[in-house]
Structure 1
Amino acid sequence: MNYKKIGSLIMAAAVTVTAAFPLSAVNVQAKKKSYGTSTVQILATTDLHGQSVKFNYDSGVESEGSLAQLVSVIKEKKKNLEYGTTITVDSGDTVYGIGSESIMKGTVSGSEYMYECMKAVNYDAITLGNHDFDYGVDYIQKALKKAGMNQKVVLSNVFLARSGKNLYKSSTMVTRTVKTTTGRKAKVKIGIIGATIPSLTTLYKWQGIVRTADIVNSVREEAKALKKKGADLIVVAAHTGIGGAKHKLKADNAGYALTAIPEVDAVCCGHTHMDYPAATAKAAVYDAYAQTDEDKLMHGKALVEEKDHGASLGQIQIKLGFDANGKPYVKKRSAKVHRVTGMDKEDAKIRSINAKYDAQYRKIYDKTITKIEGSTNSYFGMIEDNPMIQLCNEAKIHYGLAAVKNLAEPYRDAPVISATEYQMGGSTSGDYIYVDGQIYQKDVLNIQSYAQQRAKVYYMTGKQLRDALDFQAAKMYQTVGQEKAATWGSETGSLVSQGYQPILGPSYQNNWRGFMVYDGVEYTIDPNRPPRYDKEGRQISNGSRITSLTCNGQPVSDQQVFVLVSRHITSEMDPINLKASRQQVLINKTDHMSEMLEDYMVHQTVNDMLHISSDSNWRVDFADRQNYVIRTTAKAAEQAKEKPWYLGEIPGTAGFTFYRAHLGTPEQKEDHSGPMVVAAPLETKATGDPVKIRVETSDVSGIECVRFASGIRREDDYVWNYATLVKDDQFEVSSNGTYTVYAKDKQGNATVSYITVDNIDYTVAVAPSVTGKVTNKKRSIAGYASPSATVYMQGAGKFSQVKANGKGYFKFTVPSLKAGEYISLWQVDTKGRQSQVVSVEVSRSGANTPQIREINNKSTRIKGIFNDDPLCRIMAQEGKTVFIPKDSEKLYRISNLYNSSYKIVKGSYTCKNGSFSLDIPVQNAGKKIKVYGVDWVGRLSALSSNTKTVTEVAPNKPQLNNVLAQEGLLRGSIPGMKRAGMDIQIITDKGKVYTGRTDAKGAFAVETGLHQTGTTYSVKASDQKDGRKRTSAVAKVEAKSYTDFLEKYSDTTEIDSITDESDEITGRITLDGAASACVIVHGKKYALPFDSEGEFSFPLPDKKAHPFAYKDKVVVIVRSASKALMGVDVLTVAEALPDRPECTPKKLTEKTKKLRVVGNRDCTAVLKSGSIFVTKKAVAKKNGKYIYKFSIPKKLRKKNRAMKIYFVNTSGESKKILLRVK
C-alpha cells in the first residue's frame, strides 16, 4: 500500500477544508448550542353550561367550580411553564340553561355573557357542543359574532345543508416561538381541529339547516390537510366523550378513536361530564382499553376530559425535541386533570364581566312563587317519599293528563305516571333540597334542576316499569349482610366493622344521582332479597326486589300500558333493554319542567299558601333491625329527631352525620298517607262548552271514593259527605271558578287538590285543536272540535269543511302540503258560535310532494309540477333502477332512496316556474314508477299518489337482440305483449327499409341481408286499436361484428379444424338451451342443424365453385328460443399439408448440378443436408403442379452425401425424400 500517497491526499483534504471554512468559523460551529427541549402545554375546558362564576344560575345556589376559577388556575399553569408555550381550548356546551334562555327571551338584556367571558380568557380555539345549538343556528352565530368569538370557533363536521360549506372553519393554525432549555428559540406550528357530536341537539330542528358528518372521518381528513400545511402538532378539541373501543360511524362519543389517527397528537374531550385521567370507577373502564397504557395515554396520545360546570381543568403537556434545523418532534406526552376547589379564587376580570348581568338574574331568582307551612327537605329521600319530589311528579302528571287527550288508544285513557330523577344528594353536605316558608324562583330551579330540561311523554309497559325499578333497586341499595367493611371508605367501613348497616351500596352512598322516584303507581323495594341484576345490567337471579307493584292497590300486569311523563328514561337503564322504551316517545317536546312545576305550584296555591305532602306511594321494606345508619347532611339533625326511627347520631366528616335508625317496624309499614290526587282541565283555550276535568289518583290501599265541589275546601270539610262523585276519572264543570277534588283511600286517609277554571265563555266556541305535527308529508289534518261542529279549513290551495263526529273528532284530506305555508282552521258549533281561527304552520320533513303527469309507454320524460326550493330534485324508481338528474348523484347517495344494489340511470333535468322534466328511458306499459321529491339533505317527499303505472298508448318499445352484421337477421320482441300480427318496420341509417310481423309470442325475426359493421337499425312496432294505427317508440341497435362477442360467447361452441382441402364443417354446441344456429361461409349464411348432443356436420355448398381457401373465416352463431345470442365462434381455414415432393433426376451423382422438384402446393421447398439448408419458392406452375428448381452447392456433390427434400407451409412439413450422391 502506498502510505505516502495516502498521507498526501489527507493533507490536501485538510487544506481544502481550511480554505472553505476559516478557523474562526469552525470554532463557531463547534460552540453552537443544541436546541434542547421545550413543552407545548394544552389547557382544556369543556361543558361550562353557563357557569361563569360560582353562583349557578340554573340552581340558584353557589357551586364548586366556574370559569372564573378555571381562569385563575389557567394563569397559574401558564406562569409555572418555564420553557414552552400554552394553548387554551374549549370543547363546547358553553351556553345552557336559564342564563342563555333569559337572554334569548329578552328578560335579561345584553349579549351572551359566557362568550364575553371567554373573549377575556383569550382562548386559542373553541368548538361547539350540542347545547350550544339548542337555541338555533341563527342565535349561536349572532351570539358568537356579537362577543367577537366567531373567529375562534373550529368545527370540522357541521355543514350548511344548502351549500355544503362548513358552518365554521374546520381548524386553525397557531404558530408559536418557544424558548428551549438551552436558551434557543424555535418555531412550532400547532393545528387545532374542532368537532362535535353528529346527533347535535334534540331541542332544535336543525335538519335541513345544517348537516353533520362522522367525527373521526372529518378529523382524519382535516389532520392530513394540516400536516400538508406544515403543522408540527395537531390538537383536537371535540365535544365528544371517550366512547367505545370500536368506533361506529357517526357515534357521538369518539375520543378513543380520535387518538388512533396517526397525525393527531392530543385530544380534548367533553360531553359526558367526567374527569379523565382519574382514579374513578368510570375512568377505569377506559383504562382497560387495549391501547391505553399505564400513563393513561391512548394509542400513545394524550387525552383529557373534564367535568361540567367548570369543575375541572384538563392539562396536556407535550415535550418536544428539535433536530439540527430546529424542526420539532415529540419526545413525551402526559395528561392530567386539575379539580377546582374552594381554594381556587375567582378571576376578577370574569367577575366584572359577569357583574353586568348578575343583578338581573338575582331579580329573577328572588321572585316569590308561593308560600308553604313550615319547611321541607330531601335529607332522607332514599328511605322515604318527600313532598318536593312529589310536587315535581304531580306537576308532570298534571301536564300529561291534558297532553294525552288527543292520543290514540290505548294511550289516551291509560294511567298517567311520572318519574323524577334525583339531581343531587350525598356528594356534599349542602347537596339537598331545603325550602323554608317561601318558595322562590331559585328554589324551583334548584328542585327541578336546569330550566332548559324538558319532559317527554312516553308509553311504558308494566314489565318495563318493573324492570326499571328492579335495576335501580339492585344498584342503589346495600345488599343486607353482603357488603364487607373493606368495600367502603374508611369512615363507613369502620361503622360496618362495628356491626352497623348502611342503607345504600358503596357506590351510591355519596351520590344519589340517577335514582328515579315514580308517582302514579305504588311499589315496595325489599333490599333483603338477592338483586335481579348486577351493576352492568346482567340478570343474575330470577328474583325481584320489587315485592309489590300496584296501581291504586291493584297488581300491575306485564302487559299493562302506562303513559310516563319524565325528562328521560335514564341511559343507565340501557343495559336492561330500556333503550327501547326511550324510543317509545308519544310526545317529544313539552314545556320546560321548571315551568311545569311553577305553573302547578301556582294552581295549587290557595289563600297564598301551598299545602304540600307526600303520598308515600313507595317504601323500602327493611328488615326489622336497630343497626341501620343513614348518611346525610348534619343539617338534618332537627328533622331526624322527629322521625319515629331515630335512635341517635354518629358524627361524620365534611358536614355529614350518620343517623342511627330502627327501620322495618310494623308501624312503619302502615299506610297513614292520603292518596295522590291530580286534576287537570282537558281544555285551556276559551270555550263556550263545559270543561272536562280529568283526575288521576293513586294509593297503595286503593281508592274508596273521589269527589269534587266548587270553592276551596279542606280534607275535613262536611261537604265531602255528599259532594258529587267523580266517575270514570272525569267530571265536568259549566262555570268558571276554583274547584276542590277530594280523594279518600280505603284506610280513611284523604287528600284534596285544587283546580281553577277560567276559560269558559258562552259566547264563543272553543278553537279546534290539531293532533300531531302537520308536515309537508302529511295527507290529512285531524284534530278535535266541539261534538258535531262544522270545522273549516283554508289552505293547501283549497277551502273545505267537514263535520266533527259525536266525540268532536274531525279529519281533512289534503292533496299535498307545502313546507312553510299556513293552514287556518276554525269551527262553528251546533249553537252557531264561531271559534277563533287557529293557524298551523306546515313544517318540513322532506321535499314537497310533486304532482306527476301521466307516464305512457312512449314517454321519454317524467313531467309535472314541483314547487319547492331550487336545491330540491326529482328522482324516480322502477324496481331496482333509479332515475336521477345528471348533477344529483351525490344527493342521491345521501338520500333515503339510496340503495347500493340499485342501478343508476342519469338524465337531463330542468325545473322552471314549478314545472319539472326528468329524462328517462321509455318504459313498458304496466310498469310502476315511484316519483319522489328529494330535498337538499336527502329527505324524500311523501309517496302517496306519486306511484304512476305506465299506460299503454301503443305497442311497447321493441326489445332487440344483438345484431351481428355477418348474420343478416334482426331479431327481437315486443316485451309484455304476446300478440301476433304487430307490424315491424326496420330502417337502416342508409335508408333501406325492411318489414316483418310478430308471432304469437310477440317475437319477430326479419331478414336484412348482410350489412357493414356499424350499421344502425331503427325499429318500431305498429298495431291497430279502435280503428286507429298505434306506433311504438323507436328502438335502435347497431350492427356489430362477431369479433365484438367472441370474448363473452366463444366458450359455448367448438368448430373442428378446417383446411383449404376440407369439404365439411363439423363441431359441437356445448351450451344447454340452444335452439337454433347458423353458419356463415364465403359471406353467405346457412342454417346449421345440430343433434340432441349439440353435434353438427355441415357439407360445404358448391365446393367446386367455392372451395375453402387459406385464411377464409367460418363463423357459427347460436341463439336461444327467445333469439337471444348464446354463442359465437370463428375458425380460420388453415392450409393442408403439402404432398410428398417428386424430384428429377431421381438419382444424384457427383456431376449432378441441378435438381427439379414438383409439388401439389405453392409453398416452400427445402433441401437439407447436415447443417446446410437451401429453400426455394415455386418458379412455375404446369398442369396444376408447382415447379421448384435447386442448384446443388458443390460441397454437397460428394460421394455418399445424403440430402432430404421436402415442402413447408403454415400447417407444417410434408413427407421427405432421401437422396444420396453416387
Structure 2
Amino acid sequence: MLATTDVHVHLLAHDYYADRAAAVGLAKTATLIAAARAETFSSLLLDNGDFLQGNPLGDHVIAEMSGDEASTSTHPAIRVMNRLRYDAACLGNHEFNYGLDLLERALQGASFPIVCANIARELGDGPLQDALLKPPYALLHLQIACDDGRTLPICVGVVGFAPPQITQWDQKVLNGAVIARGIVEAAAAWVPQLRAAGADLVVALSHSGIGAPDEPVMAENATGALALIPGIDAIIAGHSHLVFPSGSFADLPGVCLADGTLHGVPTVMPGFNGSHLGVIDLRLQHQDGRWRVEGSLAEARPITTDTPDDPDIAAAVHPEHERAVAHARRAIGQSPIAINSFFACIGASAALDVVARAQIAHVAASIAGRPEADLPIVAAVAPFKAGGRGGPLNYTDIPAGEIALRHASDLYIFPNTIAALRLTGAELREWLEISAGIYHQILPGSCDAPLIDPDFPSYNHDRIFGLSAMIDLSQPARYDRHGILRNPAAHRVQSLTYAGQPVDAGQEFILATNSYRAAGSGGYIQADPSRHLDLGRTPIRDLLIRHLASGAIPDQPEAPCFRFRPMPGTSVSFATSPAATAHLDDIADLRPEPLGLDPDGFARFRLHL
C-alpha cells in the first residue's frame, strides 16, 4: 500500500510565495510512487486528504472555478491523482475551507472513490443511520501474486475519517450544512460493515494525528485510539504534518518504530506537501479461502535532493501553474521596510503588524456608525510561517520595495474571513495567557534554555496588536497548548496596557480576528454568538491586498506588542531562519548571539533575558 497525505496542492516542486523552486511536491513523489510500484505485482495508491487547499495555486484554481466565467476544467489536483491512478482518497479538514458547493465541483472528474465515514449532512440514531456527505467506504478488488505462482483475488475495504472539528473551524462557510461524529465512534460501527460486505482487509484513511489512546470522543488526533478498533489491518494517518514511523513518536504508548506499528497495526504518516511516500508492506497468507496478515513493515520514504520530477505530472499541471504564477507576480504596492516573520514568536514582526493593521482598518470601517464604534479596536494575529515543521525556509521574507500578490498570500496563507468579537480586558488577558503557552518555563539563571515548545503550533500563538504586555517566563504556563487551564495560580501576562494605560478587567474592546479563531479554535474563547459582530464574509487576504495597495505601511517597524520580563543572568536559545542574521537589529534588546546551525538547518541564537 502506497500513500500520500496533506499534499495541499503542492503538485509541483515550486514555492509560489517566494517564486522559486521548492524541495518537495507531488511531481517528485510521483517518482517515488513509480519506483515503489515496480517492486511488487500488486499495490494500492491512497490519499489521506487535504489535497485541494494550501498554496496560491490552489487558491487561484478555486478563484477560477467560482468566477463569473467559472472554469469547468477538472481540478488539477484531481487531474494529477487520476494520472497517477489513485485507488481511493478521503476528505481532510481543508477540503471544506471553500464551502460545500466548491468542494463538490472540485471533486468532479475523480476516477477514484472519495470516502468519509464521519461527516454527515444529518446524523441518525447511530453512525450507520447517518446521511453521510460521501460514501463511508470503498471496496477495491485486485489480484495478488502468491509465492507458489498462483494469482488470487483479494478485496480491500478502505474507510475514511476527517477531523470532527471542521464544523467548528469552517462554520462560517459551512453554515450548519454538515455535522460530524467522532472518528472512533464511526470506525467502531463501520469496520464490521466492511467485513460483512466482503472486505478481506480493512485500511483506515485517518486524516487525524496520532494521539494517546484515551483521547476524548471528538478528538482531533484520534489515530492512536483508532488503532485499538478490532478489524483494522492498516492505517494511513495525517493532518499533523509529521512523519510516522519516526523518533517523534518514540515515547508514545503502543508504538513500535522498528516495524512501523501502532498498537500492533501497521501505520504510516507520510509528512506533508508530498515530502514522503508512505509504504506499508503486508505479508499475507491465504488459507481456507481467507486472507490473513502474517507480518508487515511500514515506512515513510522521503524525497531527496536527487529525486527528479515526473515530467507527465509537470505537464498535467502546466496551464494552471503558468496562470497562477503570472497572477501571483502582479504588483500591488510598495513597502518602505522589509517584512519578515523571523522573530514573530518573540515579539518583533512587521509581517504580523501589517496583517493586524489591515484587520483593524477593515473592522473600523465596517462598524462606523454602529453603537460599538466608540470601543477601542485591537487585533489578534498569529504567525503562520515561523519555521517549525515547515523547516528553515518556512518564513515570510519580503524585502523592501515592490509588493506583489504573492506577498499577500505569503503574509496570509489561509482562506479565513474577517471576524470581530466584543470582549473584556479580562478575556483579552486570558487570550494572551493561552498564547504565552508557546514558551517553556525558564528558571532564573538558566543558560541557553530552549525557549519555544515545539509542540505548540505557531499558528495558535496570537499576539494582540494594540495592547502591550510583559511576559514572565519564570512562571509556568497557565494553559496548555490545547487551551486547557493547567496552572490557575500562574500569570505570565503582566503590565497589560492599552494606549499607555492599564487595561481594566471590565473594559470593553473589539477584537479583530479571523473566522477560524472566532470559532474557538486553538482553545481560545468561544464567545457567545451575541458578542460576534456581523461583518460579512470578507477574506482576510482580500482586505490585506487593499491595505497593501493603499500605501499604509509605516516607514519604521512598530514597537513590539510584548516583551519578556527581565531575568538578569539568564539566557535562552531560539531557532529561526539563517536569513534572520541580517535583521538582528529587530531584537537588539535581547542581545542575540549566534550559536550556529542546528541539524535541521535552523540558525540558533542565544537571547539574553
TM-score (norm. length: structure 1): 0.44
Q: Does the 8 Å contact 1:569/1:581 carry over to 2?
A: no
Q: 1:216 to 1:610 in 2, by over 3 A?
A: same
Number of the residue aligned with 1:47: 6
- For residues 246-266 of structure 1, what are the alpha-carbon distances to aligned partners after superposition, in whole Å with 9 as ceiling and x for unaligned? 476666554344333333222
Structure number with higher relative contact order (C-alpha < 8 Å, ≥ 6 residues apart): 2
Amino acid at match of 1:636: A
Q: 1:141 to 1:234 in 2, by over 3 A?
A: same
Report the Cα distance in structure 1 between the residues aligned to 2:50 and 2:137, rounded to whole angstroms. Answer: 18
Amino acid at match of 1:177: Q
**Matched ranges for 1:128-139 at <5 A:** 128-139=91-102
Amino acid at match of 1:347: D
2:43 counterpart of 1:86: yes
- For residues 481-533 of structure 1, what are the alpha-carbon distances to aligned partners after superposition, in whole Å with 9 as ceiling and x for unaligned? 466xxxxxxxxxxxx5xxxx35x526349985543222111112233x33353
Report the Cα distance in structure 1 between the residues aligned to 2:571 and 2:172, rounded to whole angstroms. Answer: 52
User: How far has the Cα of 1:158 moved from its partner?
Assistant: 4.8
Number of the residue aligned with 1:613: 557
Number of the residue aligned with 2:126: none
Q: SS in structure 2 opposite 1:345?
A: coil
Amino acid at match of 2:462: M
Report the Cα distance in structure 2 between the residues aligned to 1:148 and 1:474, rounded to whole angstroms. Answer: 43
Q: SS in structure 1 opposite 2:104?
A: helix
Q: SS in structure 1 opposite 2:315?
A: helix
Report the Cα distance in structure 2 between the residues aligned to 1:271 and 1:407, rounded to whole angstroms. Answer: 41
Report the Cα distance in structure 1 between the residues aligned to 2:196 and 2:604, rounded to whole angstroms. Answer: 62
Number of the residue aligned with 2:467: 521
2:186 counterpart of 1:224: no
**Matched ranges for 1:295-306 at <5 A:** 297-306=261-270
Q: 1:169 to 1:521 in 2, by over 3 A?
A: closer
Amino acid at match of 2:580: A
Q: Does the 8 Å contact 1:387/1:612 carry over to 2?
A: no
Q: SS in structure 1 opposite 2:326?
A: helix
Amino acid at match of 1:317: D
Report the Cα distance in structure 2 between the residues aligned to 1:92 and 1:542, rounded to whole angstroms. Answer: 41
Number of the residue aligned with 2:147: 181
User: How far has the Cα of 1:115 moved from its partner?
Assistant: 0.6
User: How far has the Cα of 1:550 moved from its partner?
Assistant: 0.6
Q: 1:586 to 1:469 in 2, by over 3 A?
A: same
User: How far has the Cα of 1:393 moved from its partner?
Assistant: 0.6
Q: SS in structure 1 opposite 2:83?
A: helix
Number of the residue aligned with 1:416: 377
**Matched ranges for 1:751-900 at <5 A:** none
User: How far has the Cα of 1:173 moved from its partner?
Assistant: 2.1
2:295 counterpart of 1:332: yes
Q: Does the 8 Å contact 2:333/2:550 carry over to 1?
A: no
Number of the residue aligned with 1:102: 63
Q: 1:322 to 1:644 in 2, by over 3 A?
A: closer
TM-score (norm. length: structure 2): 0.83
User: How far has the Cα of 1:394 moved from its partner?
Assistant: 0.8
Amino acid at match of 1:263: G
Amino acid at match of 2:451: G
Match of 2:566 among 617, 622, 634: 622
Q: SS in structure 2 opposite 1:47?
A: coil
Task: Note the residue ranges of structure 2 that are not aligned, 5 or more in a row.
Answer: 124-128
Q: SS in structure 1 opposite 2:395?
A: coil
2:475 counterpart of 1:530: yes
2:113 counterpart of 1:152: yes
Which structure dedicates a bigger proportion of its chain to helix?
A: 2
Amino acid at match of 1:522: S
The alignment of Structure 1 onto Structure 2 pairs a total of residues equal to 585
Q: 1:129 to 1:182 in 2, by over 3 A?
A: same
**Matched ranges for 1:1130-1149 at <5 A:** none
2:335 counterpart of 1:377: no
Q: 1:509 to 1:379 in 2, by over 3 A?
A: farther
- For residues 817-838 of structure 1, what are the alpha-carbon distances to aligned partners after superposition, in whole Å with 9 as ceiling and x for unaligned? xxxxxxxxxxxxxxxxxxxxxx
Amino acid at match of 2:509: F
Number of the residue aligned with 1:651: 596
- For residues 890-912 of structure 1, what are the alpha-carbon distances to aligned partners after superposition, in whole Å with 9 as ceiling and x for unaligned? xxxxxxxxxxxxxxxxxxxxxxx
**Matched ranges for 1:489-508 at <5 A:** 501=448, 504-505=450-451, 507-508=453-454
**Matched ranges for 1:1045-1124 at <5 A:** none
Amino acid at match of 1:615: A
Amino acid at match of 1:446: D
Q: Does the 8 Å contact 1:321/1:330 carry over to 2?
A: yes
User: How far has the Cα of 1:114 moved from its partner?
Assistant: 0.7
User: How far has the Cα of 1:89 moved from its partner?
Assistant: 1.1
2:419 counterpart of 1:447: no
Match of 2:227 among 259, 275, 292: 259
Q: 1:549 to 1:60 in 2, by over 3 A?
A: farther
Amino acid at match of 2:153: K
- For residues 120-166 of structure 1, what are the alpha-carbon distances to aligned partners after superposition, in whole Å with 9 as ceiling and x for unaligned? 11111112233323334343333333x343x5223344556699865
Amino acid at match of 2:27: A
2:328 counterpart of 1:365: yes
Report the Cα distance in structure 1 between the residues aligned to 2:440 and 2:189, rounded to whole angstroms. Answer: 48
Q: 1:259 to 1:519 in 2, by over 3 A?
A: same
Q: SS in structure 2 opposite 1:141?
A: helix
- For residues 880-927 of structure 1, what are the alpha-carbon distances to aligned partners after superposition, in whole Å with 9 as ceiling and x for unaligned? xxxxxxxxxxxxxxxxxxxxxxxxxxxxxxxxxxxxxxxxxxxxxxxx
2:359 counterpart of 1:402: no
Q: SS in structure 1 opposite 2:194?
A: helix
Greater C-alpha radius of gyration = 1
Task: Note the residue ranges of structure 1 that are not aligned, 5 or more in a row.
Answer: 1-41, 484-495, 665-1222
Q: 1:616 to 1:195 in 2, by over 3 A?
A: closer
Number of the residue aligned with 2:425: 462
Q: SS in structure 2 opposite 1:80?
A: coil
Number of the residue aligned with 2:546: 599
Q: 1:509 to 1:362 in 2, by over 3 A?
A: same
**Matched ranges for 1:1165-1176 at <5 A:** none
Match of 1:425 among 382, 386, 389: 386
User: How far has the Cα of 1:243 moved from its partner?
Assistant: 5.7
Report the Cα distance in structure 1 between the residues aligned to 2:433 and 2:186, rounded to whole angstroms. Answer: 42
Q: Does the 8 Å contact 2:432/2:464 carry over to 1?
A: no
Number of the residue aligned with 2:204: 236
> Over aligned residue pairs, what C-alpha RMSD do you find?
3.7
Moved more, 121-130 or 186-195: 186-195
Q: 1:158 to 1:642 in 2, by over 3 A?
A: closer
**Matched ranges for 1:642-1041 at <5 A:** 649-653=594-598, 656-659=602-605
- For residues 1076-1110 of structure 1, what are the alpha-carbon distances to aligned partners after superposition, in whole Å with 9 as ceiling and x for unaligned? xxxxxxxxxxxxxxxxxxxxxxxxxxxxxxxxxxx
2:160 counterpart of 1:194: yes
Report the Cα distance in structure 1 between the residues aligned to 2:344 and 2:160, rounded to whole angstroms. Answer: 42
Q: Does the 8 Å contact 1:367/1:441 carry over to 2?
A: yes
Percent of residue pairs bearing the same amino acid type: 22
User: How far has the Cα of 1:69 moved from its partner?
Assistant: 2.3
Q: Does the 8 Å contact 2:451/2:574 carry over to 1?
A: no
Q: SS in structure 2 opposite 1:305?
A: strand
Amino acid at match of 1:239: H
Q: SS in structure 1 opposite 2:538?
A: coil
Which structure dedicates a bigger proportion of its chain to strand?
A: 1
